[in-house]
């Protein structure tokens, strides 16, 4: 390695400090630095370096697949990058313990082995390995000044040693210190800007797909075209038989409707502590729970939980933090990847906040159409329970579900067009219209979003919740409690299921295999999964050792055969070979595979051909006759060849 002494060891130990894998870091540091004090080396050929590189590549792909199934993205990418220097350690050790000072670039790239460069490119793995250790340490994402200080010192070490001699040490150290301080200040500034954005405008950070923003819901009202959602399975729900389907799994509610967008005006989160143990969380004061369901969440670690109405406690969820808002959204701080939890449902009222003036607001753009329908149904004269039943029956009798939205006529808003003209739309139309009609009747109502679980899977033994099962409904305040009301026609589920592609069963089977592996891996702690990597690497290491030993045996056999061919054979010292060389210089070279007698017969017209024939006979006897030549004959061959060479000098 071409790095300064102990630099690689320091980088490996720094990685161990950041990731907590001290044993792996100490072993790697010792193996990387030991060649400086041990004289023994192995002579490895290019083919053997290629074999080690191929082993690292296979190990990389195997671990990547394991991490993807276990943790999912983006956690798998972070962990893979964090362990990259350990995965590539065999290649670095192969150079450190070999006689090769540099490796050909083709060792790292398969394409260059088939199409080599015109000029070979050599590299030493010392500094690339050093940089990889530092980048992997940063993937541990441990914030604080200690990490930045360690990174600065390790980076300054080789830079100071490699500085131009024209730069004095104090000057170079001062420049590095100034750069380090500027970098530290810059990253602090960026971090504060991020915190400001998250606190000042959380609705800006809304995600698409399954990412639920508990502050704002940008609906699809007014969207022209077909509503297309993914078949990807997000949740698996194991529910008590007493729970009626469809099971509405709530994620977030909104109380103010402005310009086609529902916004949460009363959504400040408050943190609460675990109840009893670190994995049980109490949402309300209900003493008894009558039902429970278990949710297996595989939606990229979305921190907003999917919960049925009146969830009293959450069990089996070891989160670092949990918080909730008065609108019923429950958010946890949990690493990305697979996790599960049990929702215990009470028979009493929920702990959601009481109504506010926002829960009765109707925007001016929709007021006329909403008032017209409310008067037509006579909602103002009905009791709250009767009003809910009337609105539900109104949508069931006179509206249809549609995944295609046309362009609204004139200046009407999309929701007005839905209520008065088209009377067909998807769940967001039904939920928004229902909430405003109930508000017109004086009933506080909120727009709720989440999922509808109703697709049973025999393979999983649970209800599957796909991305296209995202749903919207209404929560209405009746008799001092919030009640769920879903007015979307039940046919919506079948209409969207009909859009499933033909390859859905194969995708579901793949999702099931990934879920089972994730479930098995989640039983171990994050530290424990490294043991799984070791067991995964053992067969690959055995394969590499077998390939290397096999190559060594083949190489030894080839070397033995070559040694036998290179053994001195009788007549090899014959001076007649000098005659052949001189005749070639004179333009009478012996043809390939041409016998000596044939060659002499072809040049018989040359002077002294008889003398050459006599020397050839002595040469043949010296070469092939078991009895060989006598001492006098051997001297005759030598002296006459030398005399002939003197008479026939080579041409200039």
Distance in angstroms (rounded) separating the CA atoms of residues 207 and 331: 15
Q: Residue 473: its pLDDT value, please? A: 93
Q: What is the pLDDT, as a whole number, of residue 500?
A: 77
What is the predicted pLDDT for the residue at 335? 66
Q: H or E stretch including 396?
A: helix 384-398
Question: Which residues does the chain have with pLDDT short of 70?
Answer: 70-74, 141-143, 194-229, 276-277, 298-302, 335-337, 348-351, 405-410, 518-570, 593, 604-608, 651-652
Are the beta carbons of 117 and 95 closer than 8 angstroms?
no
Q: What is the pTM assigned to this prediction?
A: 0.58
Helices (H), 45-144: 46-71, 75-82, 84-87, 89-96, 110-114, 126-138
Distance CA 318, CA 277 (A): 9
Collect all residues with Cβ–Cβ distance below 8 Å to 608 and sequence separation of at least 6: 644, 647, 648
Longest dimension (CA), the chain: 141
Tokens at residue 214, please? 């508990």
Q: Contact, 328 vs 352, CB < 8 A?
A: yes
Q: Which helix (H) or strand (E) holds 638?
A: helix 631-647
Dihedrals phi, psi of 605, to nearest 5 degrees: -75, -10
Residue pLDDT, tens place only, 5-48? 888 888 889 888 888 788 888 888 888 888 888 877 777 777 78
Residue 79 sits at φ, ψ, to 5 deg, of -65, -40
Rounded distance between C-alpha atoms, residue 93 and residue 42, angstroms: 11
For residues 471 and 455, is the Cβ–Cβ distance under 8 A?
Answer: no
Could you tell me the end-to-end alpha-carbon distance of the chain, in angstroms, rounded to an integer?
52
Q: H/E element holding 248?
A: strand 247-254
How confident is the prediction for the chain on average, in pLDDT? 78
């Amino acid at each position: 390695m071409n790095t300064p002494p102990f630099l690689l060891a320091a980088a490996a130990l720094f990685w161990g400090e950041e990731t907590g894998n001290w044993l792996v870091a100490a072993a790697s540091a010792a193996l990387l630095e030991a060649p400086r004090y041990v004289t023994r080396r192995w002579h490895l050929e290019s083919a053997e370096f290629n074999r080690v590189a191929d082993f690292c590549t296979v190990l990389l792909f195997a671990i990547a697949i394991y991490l993807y199934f276990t943790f999912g993205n983006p956690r798998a990418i972070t962990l893979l990058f964090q362990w990259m220097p350990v995965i590539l350690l065999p290649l670095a050790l192969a150079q450190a313990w070999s006689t090769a000072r540099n490796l050909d670039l083709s060792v790292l790239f398969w394409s260059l082995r088939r199409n080599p460069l015109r000029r070979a490119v050599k590299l030493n793995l010392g500094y690339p390995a050093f940089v990889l250790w530092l980048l992997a340490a940063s993937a541990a994402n441990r914030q604080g000044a200690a990490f930045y200080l360690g990174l600065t010192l390790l980076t300054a070490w080789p830079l100071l040693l490699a500085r131009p001699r024209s730069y004095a040490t104090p000057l170079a150290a001062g420049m590095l210190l100034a750069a380090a301080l500027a970098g530290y200040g810059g990253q602090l500034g960026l971090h504060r800007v991020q915190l400001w954005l998250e606190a000042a405008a959380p609705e800006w950070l809304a995600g698409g797909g399954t990412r639920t923003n508990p502050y704002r819901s940008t609906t699809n009202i007014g969207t022209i075209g077909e509503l297309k959602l993914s078949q990807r399975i997000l949740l698996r729900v194991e529910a008590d038989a007493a729970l009626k389907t469809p099971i509405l799994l709530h994620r977030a509610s909104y109380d103010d409707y402005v310009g086609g967008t529902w916004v949460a005006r009363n959504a400040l989160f408050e943190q609460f502590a675990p109840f009893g143990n670190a994995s049980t969380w109490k949402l309300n004061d209900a003493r008894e729970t009558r039902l429970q369901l278990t949710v297996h969440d595989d939606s990229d670690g979305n921190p907003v939980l999917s919960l049925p109405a009146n969830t009293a406690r959450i069990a089996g969820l070891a989160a670092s933090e949990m918080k909730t808002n008065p609108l019923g959204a429950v958010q946890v701080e949990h690493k990305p990847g697979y996790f599960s939890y049990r929702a215990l449902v009470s028979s009493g009222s929920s702990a959601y906040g009481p109504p506010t003036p926002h829960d009765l607001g109707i925007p001016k753009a929709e007021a006329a159409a909403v008032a017209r329908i409310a008067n037509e149904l006579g909602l103002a004269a009905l009791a709250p329970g009767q009003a809910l039943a009337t609105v539900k029956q109104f949508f069931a009798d006179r509206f249809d579900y549609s995944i295609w939205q046309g362009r609204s006529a004139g200046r009407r808003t999309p929701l007005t067009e839905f209520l008065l003209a088209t009377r067909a739309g998807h769940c967001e139309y039904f939920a928004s219209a229902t909430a405003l009609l109930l508000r017109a009747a004086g009933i506080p109502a909120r727009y709720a979003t989440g999922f509808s679980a109703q697709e049973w899977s025999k393979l999983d033994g649970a209800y599957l919740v796909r991305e296209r099962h995202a749903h919207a409904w209404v929560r209405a305040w009746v008799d001092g409690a919030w009640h769920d009301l879903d007015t979307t026609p039940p046919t919506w589920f079948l209409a969207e299921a009909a859009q499933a592609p033909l390859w859905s069963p194969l995708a579901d089977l793949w999702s099931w295999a990934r879920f089972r592996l994730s479930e098995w891996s989640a039983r171990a702690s994050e530290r424990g999964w490294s043991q799984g990597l070791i067991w995964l690497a053992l067969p690959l290491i055995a394969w590499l050792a077998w390939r290397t030993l096999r190559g060594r045996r083949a190489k030894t056999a080839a070397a033995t055969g070559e040694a036998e061919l290179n053994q001195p054979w009788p007549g090899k010292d014959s001076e007649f070979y000098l005659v052949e060389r001189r005749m070639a210089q004179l333009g009478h070279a012996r043809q390939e595979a041409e016998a000596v007698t044939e060659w002499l017969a072809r040049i018989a017209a040359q002077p002294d051909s008889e003398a050459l024939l006599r020397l050839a006979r002595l040469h043949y006897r010296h070469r092939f006759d078991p009895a060989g030549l006598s001492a006098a004959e051997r001297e005759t061959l030598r002296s006459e060849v030398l005399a002939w060479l003197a008479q026939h000098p080579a041409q200039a």
